[in-house]
């Protein structure tokens, strides 16, 4: 009986992988042909099906995680896929792709970032398991900043990039936010607040203290 169940589970997984590969093949073909309208239609359909079947804390975070993973898969699968993987939905202040935050912490971070935003600084907190298609955290964080920075805040934009898998943290600022969060201050937040807490597995304390420090600097 166990062997039969195992057989069906393995078969289901193989069929799911085949369907996923076929979807990617079709999307790659449409993109290469320049048939962007049909590409967008199929891309949206695939995303909708995945979003309905998965939950990553909130609907907005689920949309970001599923879309990011699909873009990364296309980047790996398609020869000429050139769209950025780092463009996220509007008002995405917390993007937990690595799925390391608890649901309570996720909402706490989002509430604190919204408070900082009312003081004029746009903050994006993002976790990722890897930096693909980039080779390092610096390039990845900079693209997140470029693709998602807001023109509605008067103190600029800032990205906090965390990779628990890579054991790395990066804070990236634009020219406007650098007036309030200097490179030295950003490094201080990483070295004296985030890293010490992360080494002790105190992720929530580290992030909350870092956000509190940012809030103080822009008040």
Written as one string, the DSSP assignment of 113-130 is HHHHHHTT-EEEEEE-S-
Could you read off the pLDDT of 131-177 as tens digits, one per residue? 999 999 999 999 999 999 888 889 999 999 999 999 999 999 999 99
Residue of 113, 126, 136 lying closest to 162 (CA atoms)? 126
pLDDT tens track for 33-63 = 989 999 999 989 998 888 888 888 788 889 9
Rounded to an integer, what is the distance from CA 139 to the centroid of its chain?
14
3-state helix, strand, coil in the chain (%, to 5): 60, 10, 30
pTM: 0.85
Supply the pLDDT for residue 15. Answer: 32
**Is a pLDDT exceeding 60 seen at residue 79?**
yes
Going by pLDDT thresholds of 50, 70 and 90, the confidence category of residue 1 is: low
> In what side-by-side order are the strands of the sheet with 168-173?
94-96, 122-127, 157-163, 168-173
Reduce the DSSP state of residue 173 to 3 states and report it. Answer: strand
The answer on pLDDT for 17 being more than 50 is: no
């Amino acid at each position: 009986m166990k062997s039969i169940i195992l057989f069906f589970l393995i078969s289901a997984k193989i069929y799911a992988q085949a369907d996923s590969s076929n979807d990617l093949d079709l999307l790659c073909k449409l993109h290469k042909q320049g048939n962007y309208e049909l590409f967008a239609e199929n891309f949206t359909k695939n995303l909708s099906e995945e979003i309905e079947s998965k939950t990553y804390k909130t609907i907005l975070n689920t949309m970001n995680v599923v879309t990011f993973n699909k873009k990364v898969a296309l980047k790996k699968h398609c020869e000429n896929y050139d769209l950025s993987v780092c463009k996220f939905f509007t008002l995405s202040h917390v993007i937990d792709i690595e799925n390391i935050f608890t649901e309570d912490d996720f909402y706490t971070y989002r509430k604190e970032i919204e408070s900082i935003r009312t003081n004029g600084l746009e903050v994006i907190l993002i976790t990722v398991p890897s930096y693909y298609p980039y080779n390092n955290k610096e390039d990845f964080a900079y693209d997140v900043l470029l693709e998602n920075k807001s023109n509605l805040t008067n103190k600029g934009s800032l990205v906090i990039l965390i990779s628990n898998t890579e054991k790395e943290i990066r804070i990236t600022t634009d020219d406007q936010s650098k007036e309030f969060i200097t490179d030295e201050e950003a490094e201080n937040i990483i070295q004296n607040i985030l890293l010490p807490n992360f080494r002790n597995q105190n992720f929530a304390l580290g992030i909350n203290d870092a956000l509190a420090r940012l809030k103080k600097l822009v008040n």
